[in-house]
Amino acid sequence: MERVALVTGSSRGIGRAVAAELAREGWAVCVNYIQHQQAAEDAVRAIRDAGGRAVAVQADVADGAAVAEMVRRAERELGGHVSLLVNNAGVAGQAQFQDITDEMWDRYLAVNLGGARNTIRAVLPRMISEKAGCIVNISSIWGLRGASCEVAYACTKAAIIALTRSLAAELGPSHIRVNCVAPGVIDTDMVQVLGRETLDDLAEQTPLGRLGTPEDIAHAVAFLASDRASFITGQVLTADGGFIV
C-alpha cells in the first residue's frame, strides 16, 4: 500500500515545493488546489516525470464536504490511506484593522483555520484506528509575533500554533505526531505584492541576509514528516533566517 500525503494549497509556492520534496522522499502526493488547475497539473506532471506518484484534486478547504470527497478520491487514486497531512492552504493580505470587512475576516478564518480543521477531521479516523500518522501545519512568524496591518492573518496563524500544540497532546497516545512550521518571509507570489523595495528591506532585516525559498520550508516539513523526527511532536519549527530572533 502506498504512503499517501495530502498537501493543501500545493499548486504553487511553498505547497508545490513541499509536494515535490515529499514525492522525492517516496510519498504518493495529492496536490490540492482551488483555482489554479493548470499549475496543479504541472506540479503533478513534474512529480511523475521524476518517477513519483501524484494526483491533482480541486477542493476549497473551507468546504468540509469538498475536503472529505478530496480525501476519498486521493486515497482511491493513489492506492493508500492519507498518513501524512500538510496543512498549507491559506489566504493573506494587508489591511488596517478598521478596514477589515466581515467577509475578509470570515474568509481568513474559514480557510486558514477552518480548512485545517476540515482536513484533519477527514483523515483522523483512519489515523486513530491505525495508531499512526503525521500532521504538519504551516503557520507563520506573524503567528508568533504579530504584524501591523496583518491582524486577521496573524490571528489565524497564531490559532494554528495552538491547534498544533493541543492536538499533539490529545493525539500522542494514538501515536499521531502533530507539528508546525512557521515560515519567515518566503519569496513566493504571495509576498511579491509588497514590491521589490520592501522585499529588499525585509532581506536586510533577516540575519542570514536573504529571503527564504519555498524549498527551505519544504525541507523543514520533510524532516518533521520523517522517521528522524519520530520523537518530536507539538513543536513549532521557525524557518525565518533569524528574522524574529
Measure the CA–CA gap between 88 and 138, rounded to whole angstroms.
5
Q: What percent of the chain has pLDDT over 90?
A: 94
Q: Tens digit of pLDDT for each residue in 77-111? A: 999 999 999 999 999 989 999 999 999 999 999 99
Task: With respect to residue 41, please indicate whether it lies within any of the assigned structural domains.
Answer: yes
pTM: 0.97
Mean pLDDT of the chain: 96
Alpha-carbon span 105 to 133, nearest angstrom: 32
Count of structural domains within the chain: 1
Instruction: Give catalytic status of residue 153 as yes or no.
Output: yes
Q: What's the DSSP call for residue 124? A: H
Is residue 202 in some structural domain?
no
- Residue 105 and residue 150 in contact, taking contact as beta carbons nearer than 8 Å: no
Q: Are 5 and 82 in contact (CB under 8 A)?
A: yes
Domain assignment present for 209: no
- Mean pLDDT over 12-33 rounds to 98
pLDDT cut 70: percent of the chain above it: 100
Summarised one tens digit per residue, pLDDT across range 214-237 is: 999 999 999 999 999 999 999 999
Range of the domain at 115: 4-186+214-239
- Tell me whether residue 17 is in a domain: yes
The CATH number covering residue 230 comes to 3.40.50.720
CA distance 70 to 68: 5
22 in any annotated domain: yes
In a domain, 244, yes or no: no
In a domain, 228, yes or no: yes
Q: Which listed residue (67, 153, 154, 239) is catalytic? A: 153
d(CA 157, CA 49): 34
